[in-house]
Amino acid sequence: MSPPAIIAPSILSADFGALGQACSDTIAQGADWLHVDIMDGHFVPNMTFGAPVVTKIRPHVERPAQGLGRGTFDCHMMIAEPKKWVKDFKKAGCDLYCFHYEAAISSTAAESPEATSEKKTSPKEMIRYIHDQGMRAGIAIKPKTDVRVLDEILESEIKEEVPDMVLIMTVEPGFGGQKFMPDMMSKVQMLRQKYPELNIEVDGGLSEATIDTAADAGANVIVAGSAVFGAKDPREVIGKLRQAVEGRR
Ligand SMILES: O=C(CO)[C@H](O)[C@H](O)COP(=O)(O)O
């Protein structure tokens, strides 16, 4: 049986002028986590906000008593230098720090142009570092990245180097409101088959129209921005997304 359904509305589509209230309302409407999109204008062609804003919205949502329970701040770091901000986000109240595989690999290359294959295990070093700071770790891949790059990481014998979640992007990261890419579902299926207990998150274009495809493939953590924040009745949408995932467990 796959892990429980987790609905994580992306606050990228919330009213930034009343973000704290939007966060508490969304949890009250039945969301499990809040998906917090951090963009730096380098890794992706858009900017959002940094740790000071997370610090301000954190008190609006009660933190999970333990683990990745209700109220988890799932911070999706679409940034070129993911290691640089780990401590700041821990301090701001992030529970799950999800960095991009592509950023970790290229920041290693930037630090050391003569990087050896050993150096290229930097995603594992990142995961260990995030765990050392007392957060859960996620690793995300963009649509063009082969999912098989994750095997070596997921199969690490060192527990601290294994991520708590994998995020399969179902749009090119950078903007909300884009079209879901169904061809990303083969990545989800492959992961679910190999790792039955893994938290597999999908992000981009998820809605009542696309949730069945994602749930059939085996995704259990569902990010939805415009579908939730643009809805007349967000509670109903959150409930339907959850029902679709629960129905496949
Ligand atoms: O990471 C993201 C964009 O890079 C967003 O989380 C994602 O696109 C959610 O928005 P929507 O549900 O409207 O597609």
Q: How far is the CA of 203 from the centre of ligand 1 (A)?
A: 6
Q: How far is the CA of 39 from the centre of ligand 1 (A)?
A: 12
pLDDT of residue 121: 40
**Nearest of 200, 237, 231 to residue 5 by alpha carbon:** 200
37 is in an annotated binding site: yes
Query: Computed over its alpha carbons, how large is the radius of gyration of the chain?
Result: 17
- Residue for token pair 């740790």: 51
Q: How far is the CA of 7 from the centre of ligand 1 (A)?
A: 13
Give 19's contacts (C-beta < 8 A, 6+ positions apart). 11, 53, 56, 57
Strands 33-39 and 221-224: unpaired
Query: Does residue 46 line the site of ligand 1, with CB under 6 A?
Result: no
Domains of the chain: 6-247 (3.20.20.70)
Q: Which tens digits make up the pLDDT trace of 22-71?
A: 999 999 999 999 999 999 999 999 999 999 999 999 999 999 988 899 99
- Give the angle subtended at the CA of 66 by the CAs of 10 and 188, to the nearest 5°: 45
- Residue for token pair 């990481």: 153
Residue 223 in contact with residue 10, Cβ under 8 Å?
yes
pLDDT of residue 118: 42
Q: How far is the CA of 126 from the centre of ligand 1 (A)?
A: 24
Catalytic residue among 37, 40, 74, 164: 37
Residue 139 in contact with residue 154, Cβ under 8 Å?
no
43 is in an annotated binding site: no
Catalytic residue among 15, 132, 203, 216: 203
Ligand 1 atom 6: residue of nearest CA: 10
pLDDT of residue 108: 56
Q: What 8-state DSSP symbol labels residue 195?
A: -
Length reported for the chain: 249
pLDDT of residue 122: 86
Q: Establish whether 37 is a catalytic residue.
A: yes
Ligand 1 atom 1: residue of nearest CA: 173
Q: Establish whether 183 is a catalytic residue.
A: no
Query: Does residue 100 line the site of ligand 1, with CB under 6 A?
Result: no
Most distant CA pair in the chain, distance? 54
Instruction: Report the predicted TM-score, pTM, of the whole model to 2 decimal places.
Output: 0.94
> Mind listing the pLDDT tens digit of every residue in the chain (249 residues)?
779 999 999 999 999 999 999 999 999 999 999 999 999 999 999 999 999 999 999 999 999 988 899 999 999 999 999 999 999 999 999 999 999 999 998 865 444 445 444 444 489 999 999 999 999 999 999 999 999 999 999 999 999 999 999 999 999 999 999 999 999 999 999 999 999 999 999 999 999 999 999 999 999 999 999 999 999 999 999 999 999 999 988
Region for residue 209 given its phi and psi (left: phi exceeds 0; alpha: psi -120 to 50; beta: otherwise): alpha
For the CA of 228, the nearest atom of ligand 1? 12
For the CA of 46, the nearest atom of ligand 1? 4
CA distance 23 to 53: 12
Query: Does residue 203 line the site of ligand 1, with CB under 6 A?
Result: yes
pLDDT of residue 2: 77
pLDDT of residue 106: 80
pLDDT of residue 197: 97
